[in-house]
Amino acid sequence: MKPFLLAAIASLAVACGATGIGSGSNPSPTPTDGMGFDVTVTENDHAVTLHPGQRLEVVLHAPNGMNSWTHPVASDTSVLSPMVDPAATAARGVTLAAFEARKPGSSEVSSNASPQCSPGQACPMYIAVYSLKVTVTA
């Protein structure tokens, strides 16, 4: 029993890792099968291409020492329309948003996160900015 318990604890410890703000690299967004989304992106993704009718899920994890991301918004809702995700129940520090590609064009999805500050103490004056370029092709 002890070896099994130690193996379980070790695998959980290895699986837990910190997630930072994207480094600027552009890994491939993840195609998904569940919840009706065609593509899921995280704070590490910065560009994605969709076709009209495809659904995009945005999952942003708050960086250490930062508040949760603001709700992601699209710059051109005629190209990328926000939609309600009835299954969206986020854990603390996770921000979820869902969009549907409507017509060919481009739109930018953006969100911000601010530092966590203790009441009565000086707070740094900066924000983290997330930006995702979405291109919708026919």
Largest CA distance in the chain: 58
What does the pLDDT read at residue 87? 57
- For the cut 80, the answer to whether the pLDDT of residue 130 exceeds it is yes
Number of domains in the chain: 1
Confidence of residue 88 (pLDDT cuts 50, 70, 90): low
Reported pTM: 0.70
Could you tell me the CATH number of the domain that includes residue 57? 2.60.40.2020
**Does residue 15 sit within a domain?**
no
Note down the domain range covering 50.
31-117+124-136
CA separation for the pair 26, 78 (Å, rounded): 25
Q: pLDDT tier at 85 (50, 70, 90 boundaries)?
A: low
pLDDT at 128 over 70: yes
